[in-house]
Structure 1
Amino acid sequence: MPPLAGMRFGRYELLDKLGAGGMGEVWRARDQDLRREVAIKFLPERFAKDPTRLARFAQEAQAASSLNHPNIVTIHEIGEAEGLPFIVMELVEGQTLREIGRGRPLPTGRVLDIAAQIADGLAKAHGAGIVHRDLKPENVMVSRDNFVKILDFGLAKLRAEGVGGGEVWFDSSHPTWPETPPSPQTAAGVVLGTVGYMSPEQARGHPVDYRTDQFTLGAILYELVTGRQAFHRETPPQTLTAIMEADPEPIARLNPSLPPPARWVIERCLAKDPSERYASTLDLARELRNVRERLPEVDSSGSSGRTPATVSGRRLPWRGAALAGAAGLVALVLSWAGARWWEGRAPGARSMSGRPPVVAVLPLTNLTGQEEDDATAVGIAEVVVTSLSQIDGLQVLSRPATLAYGGRKQDLPAIARQLDASYLLDGILQRSQERLRVSLSLVRSPSNVVEWSGTFDGAFPQLFDLQSRVADGVANALRVSITPAERARIDARPTASPSAWEEYISALALLDRVDRPGNAERAVAHLEAALRADSRFATAHAALGRACWDRYRETGEVVWADRSRDAVQEALRLAPDAVEARLALAVIYRGRGKPKEALEETRKALALRPNSDDALRQLAYLLLDSGEGDAALDAARRALAKRPGFGENHNALGWVLFQKGQFGEAAAAYRRQTELQPDNAWAFQMLGTSRMMQGDLDGAIAPYREAIRLAPDARAWANLGSVYYARGRLPDAVRAYEEAVRLEPVSGTIRRSLGDARAKTGDAAGARADWRAAITLSRTALSTNPRDPRQLKNVAICL
């Protein structure tokens, strides 16, 4: 029998009906035992005859009741009485969003307050694997003290039983704002399944996940800021078609005063493709709060108060028009929290140690399914690194420092620890015909909080116009100021030639894997083509210098060393402030036996970028080469202070200590590096060598073997051969040296060591042949660097 006022169900007495709809009735009731009022929803009698659906309902309601979140209505009990299934929940005194909206736009601050609370509640549910699937204005209550409560968790899945199998349930009784809203000022009426709030995938009968709730929330927010339903048409089928195929009328046209960042959040939620919405609803909630924090305060009535929003006591006046007019060369769809739309900013972000934020740009994940877009992903990452590196208030890691992490992003906190980065900038690349979509997120470590996110659409190569947008977004998220000079450098385009840019990024992709035979040679060809298209492309000249140096290392031919020097010098002629080019030239000078010139270039790089631990490490190596061991140790320790959790800084310290003969301290530095970078073969190799120099031959074997396991390398094999040689295991020593020669046939030092081992085994002829080959190889190296003490020593020993 249907419920009536005064009827009792166990300890509950029905008081009055609050609402009704296709899914049943909701009553106010009194719990006689606990002396409190509750809301009781009675489900249709037809559900009581379907054991499968009833069991499914009970399961979902129990799951929702376990969420225990302030923005989700509390479920007290489920049961059955008089043949009617029912659910008992907390009674929320307030209004539904349907009653609050009434077909008119609400103040932006109030909408964002409500939206952030809804997203918080949804994020809690989504984290527990529960998708609402029936969110709409009737299912969201705002209490009298402005707390938001999401209703009907557990009913949505029951109602969406047909989703995935083609069945779509909806109730078209209220396709728009009702002319006469429900009268009660308490719990919501039950008008479930209004067609205007379905996601495209739900309307098609496809399987849905948490992103369907994001779309629905976007539709609700659209309605709250414009006073109109996003997809309303004359009939439900027409509305479904609009949801699947049509774009809503632009928000900017209906509500021009809505701040652009708030509009971008709504537009991203309303993306037809679920993959274009938020990666997690927690990210959506954070973005809504970030946008809200930069608006003027809103009083409880929903009107703007007079108290300005502040950050660190500084006023943040609105400046949205500047962004709205910055179209650039390509139409970009931007969605971010922390975009540049206020004048004042808090002081630059600093860690507890006082050092600037360290940002690592991870390799973009190419989701286009096209191998040729790998180079595009590399090019975009290069643009982002280059633009962020212009900001003195940030310490940005070079792109090569992050290359190894491209295929293993599952544990971002672990990556941040290994790089000693305070923030990771991660992203994906997608393609729709000729247009590309780049989605980036700035993630704080170790909390994994998304501080900023941006989505950019356009045709490449125009997409590198995103460099200024990314720089603005990251700088504002981290409260770092951009000076006019930095702005000019950020906005500068590396080349005006699309073909030059495409050749350049193809070369970068090859240079990222220069360990593969032929890659350096192919990179040179691409860069030469780039420079034929644009001879003033400074960055391409610098990259050509790197590629030619790699060719020199491969072949030992001096002509490549000369070409490398010339290319980098041309890059610096065109762009004197290019830090990476100066460091590259220092490497070339060092390799060619010109320590004074190498030191000069490194110090110029440090003057341009004083926070660069890369430059400080290079300074340490150069000072060590010059015999200034104490100054080298100071530089290495300064680099370590910049990023104490970065393994390469421990490597530099270990190398200086090793060269100073402090082998115990060197071993400690390398051991720390192996802890920070357990996949770094060189760290294990130097740990073994430090132990060997301490006289701990047995302790050296395990690190050498681990180094070889991680990355078979000529030096590791040669060092293991040296241990075997010292231990008298001569056949093992010969085999190890032979493997080293196979891997690095141009090393005179390794070839001489093989000759020494052969001589000890009695193979005099083999030893003489190895020594002659070693002399030839070392003399070739001396033609490039006549002062190389290792090569001079090698020739003298072999003669």
Structure 2
Amino acid sequence: MPPPLSLPHTLRQYRLEATLGKGSWGTVYRAVDTHLLRTVVVKLLHTAGDPAAQTARLLEEARLASAVDHPNVCAVYEAGEADGQSFLVMQYVPGRTLDALLEDGRLDDALALSLGIQIADGLAAAHRYGVLHRDLKPSNVMVTDEGVAKVLDFGLARRTAPGAAPEDLPPADRADAADRADTAMSSRFGTTAYMAPEQFATRRSTEQSDVWALGVILFQMATGQHPFWMRSMNPAQLPSAIQSYPVPSPTGVRPDLDPAFGAVIAKALARLPDDRYHHASEVRDALRTVAQALVPEPGVAAVGIAPPVPLPPSEDAAPRRGLLGALADRLLPARGTAPDNAVAVVPFADASEAPGPAYVGFALADAVATRLAGAPTLRVRPPRALRGADTPVEAGRQAAAAFVLTGQFARTPDGFHLGWTLVAVATEAVVQGGTVEVAGDLIEAQRRLGDDVFASLAASGALPIAPAPQFRPVDAVDEAALPDALVEDYLGARSLMDGQASRSGLHADLIRATEAFERVVAEAPDFAPAQAGLGIALTRGVRFGYGGVGHLLAAQRHLDRALALDPSHIEATLYRAYTRLWSGETERARQDVQHLLHTAPDDAEVQVGAGVVLQLDGLLDEALDALGTALRLAPGIGPRVYNLRARVHLYQQRPEAARVEIDRGLSVAPAHTLLRTTDAVWHLRHGHLGDAVERLASVVADDPLLRLAHPTLAIAAHRTGDPERARSLMTDDLLAMAAADCEMAYRVGTYFAVAEDPEAALHWLRTAVHLGNHNAPWLLANPDWEALRETDAGVRRTLREVAASQPALHARWRRVLPARRA
């Protein structure tokens, strides 16, 4: 670390006057910009290690933060170098950190709601740019004397797509992360205290891990306590508490807390990401609903609620005047034209026998608008952007919308009865509608209604929720433009990769395909099929245990590039869904697959992908249906599908049906390594230990790098009285690869369960769940876990959480799946 500067110190036009903070990564100063005569913050980066990498790190931080232009995010003014010193210049925000405010105890509810809405809004803005904060905590939030919240320090921020684990970061970033870990208690409870449970298992961040951190902050503001910290606790115990202890009820800690506010906090702190808010914007809107409910009289602005967005004049407004008006009339779109993708959502009418507060109808409509706004192809006019109108259709006309969505609700003893209708503004004809019964509070009604409307409209095609057709960018290269040698490389790679999946299952074939795709991409980086092929090959490598998180990140880069070149590429979209699944973004993965089922139902690979995700979500009969459809569409992929169907039958504890599928597959492809592995699992389940070991040993001998088979061989070896051999198979490489795939993680956890190592078993069970394995029927029935299900509280709690998530998860799926025959 360089010696401290003697202050005042001049760096270009910045006069550094006071030290605000320091760490091994750098020092922060209050400074004056002598050109613009304003107070700023200057962050100097220490140059230990690789100066070039450190400078690149600082510039990347500046680019990330400067992309987010929002009043609740600290602005970045400049990044550069002077006198061999890299520096970053940021907005100076006078005031106190939220951490300092919380030292005096909980905040007033109005202030807590206002700050929560502002923090969530700033976070949502960052997420819209694909930027995760990754270090949200009270010490990274400044509160001005006027009550404005500013989110600071995107020092750990990264683009969403990479989702890098610490070991995949450059050395400078690893050092920075390590420094934060070493100084974890510097923010009262520290960085670790705001990490989501899944981050301890997956070591990766998502939008929902930022939402968890926001939930912890909300809990502290509302109750004055951290949800998991106790005075008698050693700091090293906090990660275990976050992963294992029951999440306390905010209203249990503070009984006088408004129940709706407590429900928002509780949902933000749901242990399973799927049960949590999916986006920070949803937290913001839920808090706005609570804030509006606390307004004593109509006409009083709710805490933290933005004023209505002004709309352009209606068609009958006075015409524009003068030269500028004439130019505007010529150059701007005609007022009142309604784009086909514009929908206005008006407040729902209260049809209850005893109508309640008016904000409920507004809140329900706002939830629907927020959910629809998640579709980038829609233009949504939310209720707060609408002016008063006599009818919903008139509101739609005033908002220049092609459609208007309206509805009504009635309170029931258990919750709400909700009805909604989509109307075409031009014809006033009803396009679609539906009803929803909700047992629960207003927050649950908002979530269920938003999900139901979105899923119903996406499935019917009534609104253009599916991505609109796009032209390929001008830099995309067609096959005809490639040299013959590259075309041969590409076609050869496809043949090898398809053969590996359907016939051999051998790692060598996938490696040769990967190398061929890499040659094509190196020579023709704008050839979308090769980028997609390389991403698919790397993804399959992760799936079969050939690669870990590094392969997953590389796969994401190539698939993203393929889709940038050709947004209609079905396989690239499907395999991007797999990478999202294994990065912990399970809801986005489901949405990708559900969209493909709607837009490309006759693509066999889409049906295979649906079968895989449905099986992981515990919809085993539906998974068999999708896999059966894939087999009818493309009989040539039979061995792969037979293997997947056999595994589903095993999860259903239907060994006879599994045996039929295995035999069918082996009759077509007797050397297929994955089928042979499943065959060994069948023998293992039937107690044929010798046969199982023999078959698995044969698979490993033929393909030593097929690590997917290693945990199962370790289980078999342990059961046959050879624990040393079993332990020798559980290498560091294997565990690193298991951290990138939910089914591999579960197999590793099962080995530790059999080996009677409950701590390791629980860790890998949690990793599997957080990476997307929600196959509750099997998780709750697997005989290898029977002892731990009875004796280990952590295992029981984790399985209960998975089981509790199933009804809502299955209901969302069944809205988009065809009805099953009885």
Shorter-chain TM-score: which interval? 0.3 to 0.5
- Give 1 or 2 for the bigger CA radius of gyration: 1
TM-score, scaled relative to structure 1? 0.38
TM-score, scaled relative to structure 2? 0.37
